[in-house]
Every structure is written in C-alpha cells, then in structure tokens.
Amino acid sequence: MKLAVLASGRGSNLRAIADAIDWGACAASIVAVVSDKDDAGALAFAAERGVASAIVRPKAYESRALWDAALAEAVASFSPDLVVLAGFMRIIGGAMLGRFPHRIVNVHPALLPSFPGAHGARDAIAKGVRISGCTVHLVDAGVDTGPILAQAAVSVWPSDDEASLQARIQREEHRLLPAVIDAIAKGAIVLGERPQLASTLAFDERALNSPALISAPLSTR
C-alpha cells in the first residue's frame, strides 16, 4: 500500500512509520512526504531517505480552498492508496476529501472526542484528566471528528506538564499509527463511511488498542 505522509513538524511519526516498514511490521511504502512548511523536520527526513517530497505553501494561494485544491493535486500526483496526516497542522478541505474519500487518516494526541484541536496534551492537563492517550481516525470535514479506528491510553501523572505528557503520548502514537496502517494494508480494517474490522481475518483488536496505563512512581505523586 502506497502512502503519502503529510507533516508540518519534526516528523517523529513519519520516522516511526518508516522504521516499522523497515522492520517488516508495516506492509506499506512511503511514496511521498508533503508539507506546508519549508522547515519541517519531516522534509529533512524525506531527503535523508531519498523519498520524494513536495511543499504546498498556504501563502502562495489567495484562499484556503485554492491551497487545498493545490494540495490535492500535489498529493494525487504521487498516486497514494492512503494519505496519512502525521502532525499536519492544517485543516483538510473539500478538494482533498473529494480526491481521497475515506482514505485520509490522522493521528491525534488525545482520546477523541475529548480534546480535539491543536493542543490535545495541554488541554488534557488543564482539565485535570487522569487518563489520556492518542487516537487514529479517518479524516472528515470536521476538526478531529472522523470515525475512530484505534486508540491507546496513557496515564496522566500529577507531575506531568504538557511536554512530559506529549512525550508519553507520542510513544504510543509511534506504535499505534504504523499498526493501524498495517491493519488497513492487510484488509483487517476496512475503510469506508463506517470503517469496520474484517470478520474474516484473525485479527486481535486488543493488540492494537492495548493501553499503556502505567502508574506514576511514588516519588512523582
């Protein structure tokens, strides 16, 4: 299964996907990395690995719709089977959704539907929740509202700040996102308006969603 990975940031999720592919744990190949930012670490990683890349800069377009159409063109030029948003910090519009119906997945640093938006870890800390985590979901027209494919939970410790919680969540993202891509590639997760687990395949959903609920050491309570 050919992946186009869209990323705005440092690209640790992109790296996790590439590593899982190298280890034979993710039946996919990355055909392109596409970014909205010239200085995205994900682009440097693509160059390092010899993966094709493209930048579609929002400022170069008069409207969000025109940028979205250009993004759809750029991504489609790589003919991916699946589009993966791995830290892509922009809202996907109609052109992208129309070009890749039920074929765009996103990883979000919270247990949706709680804490959608750009600051999942910060918002979880502010609210004082004791369990957070990450969600891999299909992208629809809303912000982090699409059908949920898999989730992993992590404990929120009293000593956590945004950075420490984000780091713990990211460890789970790096496991969960490649696992979901692998499940899609193997037909174990069937995408569509209502994504389903394929009943014909022996697929242990518990392995995908296994929580990493680890108590805080006593010294940090």
Binding site for ligand GRF (CB under 6 A): 7, 9-13, 86-87, 107-109, 170, 173
For residues 12 and 151, which CB has a smaller minimum distance to ligand GRF in the complex? 12
Element (H, E) at 107: strand 104-108
For residues 85 and 184, which CB has a smaller minimum distance to ligand GRF in the complex? 85
For residues 9 and 211, which CB has a smaller minimum distance to ligand GRF in the complex? 9
CA–CA separation, 174 and 18 (whole Å): 10
Which position among 108, 119, 137, 174 bears the catalytic label? 108
Burial of 137 (0-12, 13-18, 19+ CB in 10 A): buried
Q: How many of the other CB atoms lie within 10 Å of CB of 37?
A: 18
Q: Catalytic residue at 108?
A: yes
Q: Name the minimum Å distance from CB 62 to ligand GRF.
A: 27
Q: Name the minimum Å distance from CB 173 to ligand GRF.
A: 5
Q: Name the minimum Å distance from CB 218 to ligand GRF.
A: 28
Burial of 105 (0-12, 13-18, 19+ CB in 10 A): buried
**Active site amino acids:** 108
